[in-house]
Amino acid sequence: MVEVAASIGAMILAAARGMGADVEALAAHAEFDSSLACDPDARIPLRVETALWDEAARLTGDPAFGLHAAQGLRPGVFDVIDYAVRTAPTLRASLDRLARYNRLVHDAAVFSVTQEGQAVRVEHSLRGVSQSPHAAEFTLASIVVVGGQINGSGIEPSSVSFRHVAQGARAEYARVFGVAPGFSAAENSLTFSLAVLDRPLPTMDPLLSRVIERHAEALLRQRPTPAETTAARVRRLLCETLGKEPAAVTLAGLAGRLRMSERSLQRRLSDEGQTFDGLLDELRHELSLRYLADKKIAIAEVAFLLGYSEPSAFHRAFKRWTGKTPNQVRQRAA
């Protein structure tokens, strides 16, 4: 079972309370035990975190709840990882620590920090499981918010992208990030100028930084290496078979390869907040954007690579994912 720190649930409740929501009803809906809020070692299932995000947005009537929750962040909310990030010598080092120590608060979340010329790209995803759009928006917005706090002045990414469609008003995204994000993208990501990230931080305290880092390393060694989730195994097998073995891209086909019954596979996926159809649909969406970015691959061939028997079925699915046709997306990218 994928778990996250209970402090994430406590933070969501606090943000919702500040916006006037009935947090007792929120906790009850998500089956969140509020007594865990003060325990830095407590964990909750990912499905509880997801339910908290989605229900908090509904109860507050705020489609940009994730963005606004990030703006309310203060030091210490996430215990050791928070201080490890805030005591780093530069914003680049801060991002590297976030990527390294994030397992202290989330079993499945993965950050990738890569340099591309004079820019640094930060990608965020969940290993083999899906994520609430509000959680994704909170995550990227929190990098900008906390980065501005420790930098002493706001930091502005050069680009922002989300895999999902916009949840709130686009003007609100531009206000929080300083730039209008792209949506229905292949990944959740931020890009920053290297010059911004390499400047020494005014909050830098080398001695405290080393103490916090040693403590974070000790805690990381105590965390078990997360086992591959059933959803991740299904996703990996789908990647291997899409466009190659049509009969294998089915619930029955995947269950057979995993040596379990269809009912057992469905139950395990359900325990992780997933369905087979949902995983297949999400993977096709992600791969379609990557394939369309390569103009050497014809659109009809993209449909075949995704396992569709007819291009028209792919066109209908793509319009549902993005609100646009494949050709429109390819022309816009060009």
Using a cut of 0.85, tell me whether the model's pTM lies above it.
Answer: no
Name the 3-class secondary structure at 3.
strand
- Is residue 178 over pLDDT 90? yes
Cα-based angle 56, 283, 287 (whole degrees, multiple of 5): 120
Helix, strand, coil in percent for the chain, rounding step 5? 55, 10, 30
- pLDDT above 90 covers a percentage of the chain that reads 49
Residues 72 and 210 in one domain: yes
What contacts 284, CB < 8 A, 6 or more positions away? Answer: 242, 306, 307, 317
Domain, as residue range, for 283: 230-333
Whether residues 114 and 238 share a domain: the answer is no
Shared domain for 162 and 311, answered yes or no, is no
Do residues 191 and 295 both lie within one domain? no
Residue 15 has phi, psi (to 5 degrees) of -65, -40
Looking at the fold, whether 70 and 217 belong to one and the same domain comes out as: yes
| Number of domains into which the chain is organized | 2
Domain boundary among 176, 204, 222: 222
> Once rounded to an integer, what is the mean pLDDT over residues 188-213?
89
243, 307 contact by CB (below 8 A): yes
Name the phi and psi angles at 112, rounded to 5. -120, 125
Partnered with residue 3 across adjacent β-strands are 45
Q: Is residue 38 part of a domain?
A: no
Closest-CA residue to 137 (of 107, 113, 164):
164
Q: What is the pLDDT of residues 219-251, one digit of tens each?
A: 988 887 766 788 888 888 888 888 787 777 888
Q: Are residue 73 and residue 214 in the same domain, yes or no? A: yes
Q: Which two tokens stand for residue 212?
A: 């916090």
Position 227 scores a pLDDT of 67
Residues 317 and 293 in one domain: yes
Q: Do 155 and 211 belong together in one domain?
A: yes
The whole-number average pLDDT for the span 105-109 is 88
**Single residue among 191, 222, 253 that ends a domain in this structure:** 222
Overall average pLDDT of the 28-42 stretch? 88
192 part of a folded domain:
yes
Cα 313 to chain centroid distance, Å, stands at 28
Average pLDDT of the segment spanning 88-95: 93
Tens of pLDDT, residues 288-317:
888 888 888 888 899 888 988 888 999 999
Please state, in angstroms and rounded to a whole number, the distance separating the CA atoms of residues 22 and 10: 14
What lies within 8 Å, CB to CB, of 117 at 6+ separation is 194
Q: Please provide residue 90's backbone torsions phi and psi, each rounded to the nearest 5 degrees.
A: -140, 165
Which ranges constitute the DSSP H helices of the chain?
Answer: 6-18, 23-30, 46-60, 65-71, 79-86, 91-101, 133-151, 170-177, 194-197, 206-222, 230-241, 251-257, 262-271, 276-292, 299-305, 311-322, 326-333
Whole-number pLDDT of residue 2 = 80
Model pLDDT, residue 150: 92
* Dihedral sign for Cα atoms in the order 273, 278, 283, 288: negative
